[in-house]
Each structure stands twice: as C-alpha cells, then as structure tokens.
C-alpha cells in the first residue's frame, strides 16, 4: 500500500516535471558557478613563482572535485520554500493537510522527480567536461559510485530538512522565503562550492565543519570524486557519513515538532 502510494506520487510528479524539461535544463545550466571557480583555482594553482597555491590536490583531482560539486548541487537542490510559500498563499495547502499523507512527502516526490529529469543534462555536461579536460577522467569503481550516491542522497536529505524548517515558518509569517536568502549565504561560502575546504585556514575549516554546510556539497563531492580522505584532509569517510547521520537525527525531530506547532496555528489564507 505504502509502496503503491509512493510510486503513484512519484509518477505523477515525474509526468509533471517532464513537461518542464526546457526550463529544468536551463536551471541545470544556471549552476555553472563551480566551473567558473575551477577556472580561478586551477589558474591560481598553476601561477605564481614559489609554487603558487598548494591545496594538496592534483590538477586532475581539483577538476574532478569541481565537476562533482556541480553534480552534487544538481541532485541536492531544494526549492521547497518557494513551493510551500506559494501553496500556503494560494490556499492549496488546506486540501493537502486534509489528505492522509504528510504534505512534505508530496514535495519530496516532486524534488526527486525533478532530479530525475535533470539526469540527462547532467550526464551531457559531465561528458562535455571530460572532453575538454580528459586528464580529470577516471573510471569510478562500483564502491565509489555507491558511496557517492549515498552521500548525495544524504546531502539532499539534510538540505531538504533545513529548507523545510524555513518553509514551516510560513505558518507564522507569509514571507518566509526571505529567510532562505540568509541561509543561502553560508551555503555558498562555507559548503565548498566556491572554494574546496582544503583552501580554508585550519580554524575556519574547523568552524565550517561544525555547521551542516560542508556536508551539503563539499563532502559528497569529495566522495564522488574519489579524492583522498582522512589524515590531513578536511573530511574522513566514516566521520563524514557519521556527521551527516547526526545532522539528520538532529533536524528531523526539530522539523516534526515545528510542523506540529505550525499546523496548530494554521488558519487558511484568504479566509
């Protein structure tokens, strides 16, 4: 029963998202930032007398890292805040709340369906990247692919929980999406999106690792890229996964509590 429900939900959302292929392709393209940053970091690593920049990453590893940042972002992007805000403002939320299915599951299915439509574009862009940068290419082993997919899935889960917390604030204020802009700032700068965590000075790196942000992008990208981990590197494989699990264990009950309090407060819009 549960399984059939999930399947139907997913198929409906997939059909819906497939209608928007062109838009989603453009959304995928608008994630070019990692490639711009790769240009900057690789030029900096190559330049400068006296060795230039030492990140402890070879040029091939650096290239792979930023490609994986791009991929991770494509599959962990979350827009639940806007969708939820719109649904709440338009009054669509009320019927959703009456259905015997937690409304957030609907959004989870929508996100997963959208990610599935992104897959071909991501593969295309990745192939293009390797055509231009063949030295970065390496066949990933099956274990690495599995771990990478798991890490990306967990990153999506953390991001979804974080953003849903903000979305839930819509029960109190009708413009909660403005808060998302604030959350976006550390997501860009502390996550490893614009600079690999190897480039951070040790204190800043320690600080960043106490926030969920590096686990949204930096850690899954390193896992997927198969870059060295552990001693002397910002992440350890087991420690990284443990931290991810910890963040989920922390955020999930918080979301459940906040949601319950919010629904109790809810009085439909436009009444």
Partner 1 sequence: MMRLSLALALRYGRTLRRFWGTALATQLEYQLNALIELLAMAGNLAGSLLVLWLFYRQGVALGGWSWNSVLVVLGAYTCLDGLTSTLLRPNLSRIVNHVQEGTLDFVLLKPIDSQFWLSLRTLSPAGLPELVVGVALMLWAGRRELGTLPLSAVLLAALLLLAAAVTLYALWFVLAATSIWFVKTWNATEVLRAALTAGRYPVSAYPSGLRTLFTLVLPVAFLTTVPAEALLGRLTLAGALTSLLVAGGALAISRAFWTFALRFYTSASS
Residues binding partner 1 (CB under 8 A): 20, 22-23, 26-27, 29-33, 36, 39-40, 42-44, 47-48, 50, 52-54, 175, 178-179, 181-182, 184-186, 188-189, 194-195, 199-201
221's CB contacts (< 8 A; 6+ apart) are 65, 66, 68, 69, 71, 72, 192
In the complex, what is the shortest distance from the CB of residue 39 to partner 1, in angstroms, rounded to a whole number?
4
Asked if residues 97 and 271 have their Cβ atoms less than 8 Å apart, the reply is no
In the complex, what is the shortest distance from the CB of residue 163 to partner 1, in angstroms, rounded to a whole number?
16
3-state secondary structure of 135: helix
3-state secondary structure of 212: coil
Cβ distance to partner 1 smaller for residue 52 or 253: 52
Task: Return the ∠ at Cα 164 (arms to 94 and 241), rounded to 5°.
Answer: 145
Residue 256 to residue 175: CA distance in whole angstroms: 21
Cβ distance to partner 1 smaller for residue 7 or 206: 206
Q: Which of 127, 110, 23, 20 shows the shortest CA–CA distance to 70?
A: 127
Cβ distance to partner 1 smaller for residue 84 or 200: 200
Task: Return the ∠ at Cα 74 (arms to 199 and 173), rounded to 5°.
Answer: 95
In the complex, what is the shortest distance from the CB of residue 74 to partner 1, in angstroms, rounded to a whole number?
13
Cβ distance to partner 1 smaller for residue 63 or 240: 63
The token duo for 43 is: 């030029």
Q: How far from the centroid of its chain's Cα atoms is residue 41's Cα? A: 22
In the complex, what is the shortest distance from the CB of residue 66 to partner 1, in angstroms, rounded to a whole number?
13
In the complex, what is the shortest distance from the CB of residue 30 to partner 1, in angstroms, rounded to a whole number?
4
Cβ distance to partner 1 smaller for residue 16 or 189: 189
Asked if residues 223 and 62 have their Cβ atoms less than 8 Å apart, the reply is no
Q: Which of 117, 151, 177 shows the shortest CA–CA distance to 238?
A: 151
Dihedral over alpha carbons 107, 168, 76, 2 (to 10 degrees): -40
In the complex, what is the shortest distance from the CB of residue 181 to partner 1, in angstroms, rounded to a whole number?
4
Asked if residues 46 and 52 have their Cβ atoms less than 8 Å apart, the reply is yes
Q: Which residue has the tokens 């629904």?
A: 263
Cβ distance to partner 1 smaller for residue 51 or 270: 51
Cβ distance to partner 1 smaller for residue 38 or 147: 38
Cβ distance to partner 1 smaller for residue 79 or 96: 79
């Amino acid at each position: 029963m549960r399984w059939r429900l999930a399947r139907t939900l997913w198929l409906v959302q997939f059909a819906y998202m497939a209608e928007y292929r062109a838009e989603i392709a453009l959304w995928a393209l608008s994630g070019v930032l990692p490639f711009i940053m790769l240009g900057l970091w690789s030029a900096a690593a190559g330049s400068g007398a006296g060795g230039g920049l030492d990140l402890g990453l070879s040029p091939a590893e650096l290239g792979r890292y930023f490609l994986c940042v791009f991929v991770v972002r494509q599959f962990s992007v979350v827009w639940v805040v806007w969708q939820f805000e719109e649904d709440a403002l338009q009054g669509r939320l009320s019927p959703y709340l009456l259905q015997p299915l937690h409304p957030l599951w609907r959004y989870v299915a929508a996100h997963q369906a959208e990610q599935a439509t992104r897959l071909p574009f991501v593969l295309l862009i990745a192939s293009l990247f390797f055509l231009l940068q063949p030295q970065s290419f390496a066949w990933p082993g099956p274990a690495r692919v599995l771990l990478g997919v798991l890490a990306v899935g967990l990153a999506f889960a953390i991001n979804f929980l974080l953003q849903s917390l903000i979305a839930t604030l819509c029960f109190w204020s009708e413009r909660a999406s403005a808060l998302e802009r604030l959350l976006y700032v550390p997501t860009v700068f502390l996550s490893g999106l614009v600079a690999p965590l190897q480039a951070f000075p040790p204190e800043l790196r320690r600080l960043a690792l106490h926030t969920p942000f590096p686990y949204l992008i930096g850690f899954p990208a390193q896992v997927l890229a198969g870059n060295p981990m552990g001693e002397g590197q910002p992440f350890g494989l087991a420690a990284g996964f443990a931290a991810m699990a910890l963040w989920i264990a922390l955020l999930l009950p918080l979301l459940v509590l906040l949601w319950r309090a919010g629904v109790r407060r809810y009085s439909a819009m436009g009444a």
